[in-house]
Amino acid sequence: MLKKILLTVCSLWSMNFSFSQPQHTYGITRPKLFIGLVIDQMRWDFLYRYYDLYSNNGFKRLLNEGFSCENTLIPYLPTYTAPGHSCIYTGSVPAIHGIVGNNWFDKNTNKSVYCTDDSSVSPVGGSITWGKNSPHNLLTTTIGDELKLSNNFKSKVFGISLKDRASILPAGHSSNAAYWYDENLGKWITSTYYMKELPVWLQKINEQKLPDAYMSKDWNTLLPIDKYNLSTEDSKPYEGQIIGENSVTFPHKLSQIKTKIYEAFKTTPFANTYTFNLAKAVIENEKLGSNTVTDFLAINIASTDFIGHEFGPNSIEIEDTYLRLDNDITEFLQFLDTKLGKGNYLLFLSADHGVAHVPGFLLEHNIPAGLLNQLNITKEINLMLEKKFSLKNGVLNIQNYQVYLNKEEIEKRGKMPEIKNAVIDYLMQQPFISNAFETEKISVTSIPEPIKTMLINGYYPNRSGDIHFILKPAYFDRASTGTTHGLWNPYDAHIPLVWFGWNIKHGTTNREIYMTDIAPTIAAMLKIQMPSGCVGKVIEEVMK
């Protein structure tokens, strides 16, 4: 009897214990939709510079509910758009993925190459000038490619931007489509790499002629102009202009622009809204997020770059653009909440590069800065080589702060070392240059970190120049107005990285993180393979 009682008690205890334990499931959960939101030319400090003026539901919502990697850096040179987008979505660097700039000089053909040029394809829905593009020059897979590979191509992958390179390179090789803006026609277009004709829903959007509607109204400040006390006064001689305008001040009379209207549209904040509207249309019409697997949408907001180049980061135009962008982000997040449900989508916000202050602005405040012209440097070096070595056109091109030598002609003379040294000596005599050296000798040249690693990561022999030169801080290649980017300095290389949505807990880290770490972190979250050239590491804090 005692034995039966003990068996019964043990049995009941065992049953009770088993029911009280957590039930383990081994299924893999993933978000319905993954979104990359890359703001062109957004320096990290723009998250906080206008923080008090942002609403609670745009940038602030991302920061207050998401996870921010506050010390995210670009690990290569040059810090331009095409390498930036390629790096984010491949987890790789130009030395591996091959996109060494927006443009480069191809040593095999002795011709300048645009990063997404592809003569084998034709425009779809657009003009020949803007339509012969594909990811052909990108040498590795992207996270979108790996997502498709992970489930036998069931995922849908799209890329959109005003810029062809900023939609094509993020979307990858196997995407369903990349869409970009044709500034000749004022329409969204693609190429035959993706399809033979635009989908009907996109044709209907183009028929609405939305850029015409936006350009029929003037650009006034969102707030009273005296509230923009984080910017310089409205009229400055070092500011550029929207094409077709004769003034640098508000209100920008877009309605009076009569030529190149669609090109001018890109340099307005309304083109950002136009891009977000396309993102919503892609999600709705392609039914992204309603799939049996995770879908992916890469969005680039590009007008921040066009406006920034003309007016600079301390302008009222940029401040107003970011306040309007904050509203666009608010509406987009609300759209995603309604369409997919909070917590069902994963989004990160980052940038392809930062931006330098306008030298004229810095000089007003006694901060060293200046300009140079790479075309003039090319002419001057060639005159020097002709005079010293009787060599004509010894320099074929200077791009990305790299000198491309006419190796064929130089090797005929058997004076390659002497000519290289002469070019380096000339460059070192220039007051705006701090160092110059042969690119193939970067690893043995005395260069401080992190510049040395950035140079090595950016060097792809067949596409990079023969001699590289480094500028002093706040110097760059540009005309007398506006600004640019492309160098190693924090103003160009320190970018935002904020994670939001599915499985993301609020938090921050000031640990040094790199742009290359974005793709492997996504791969780890989605439990898929990293892209084929990935060198980044998983950001473990984001996944905790």
Using alpha carbons, list the distances in angstroms from residue 62 to 279, 303, 497.
18, 21, 10
Asked about 81 being catalytic, the answer comes back as yes
Residue 420 neighbours by CB under 8 Å, 6+ apart: 405, 438, 466, 467
Residue written as tokens 């003039």? 376
Q: What is the 3-state secondary structure of 456-494? A: HHCCCCCCCCCEEEEECCCEEECCCCCCCCCCCCHHHHE
Q: Is 517 helix (H, G, I), strand (E, B) or coil?
A: helix
**Termini Cα distance of the chain:** 53
- CA 264 to the chain's CA centroid: 21
For 237-260, b/e burial (b = at least 16 CB within 10 A) is ebbbbbbbbeebebebbbeebeee
Nearest residue to 400 (alpha-carbon basis) of 359, 439, 440, 351:
439
* Cα–Cα distance, 502 to 517 (Å, whole number): 18
What Rg do the C-alpha atoms of the chain give, in angstroms? 26
Contact 265, 186 (CB under 8 A): yes
DSSP string, 284-298: HHTTTT-SSS-EEEE
Contact 95, 457 (CB under 8 A): yes
- Among residues 72, 79, 81, 484, the one annotated as catalytic is 81
Residue 25 dihedral angles phi and psi, to the nearest 5°: -120, 145
Contact 535, 516 (CB under 8 A): yes
Catalytic (active-site) positions: 81
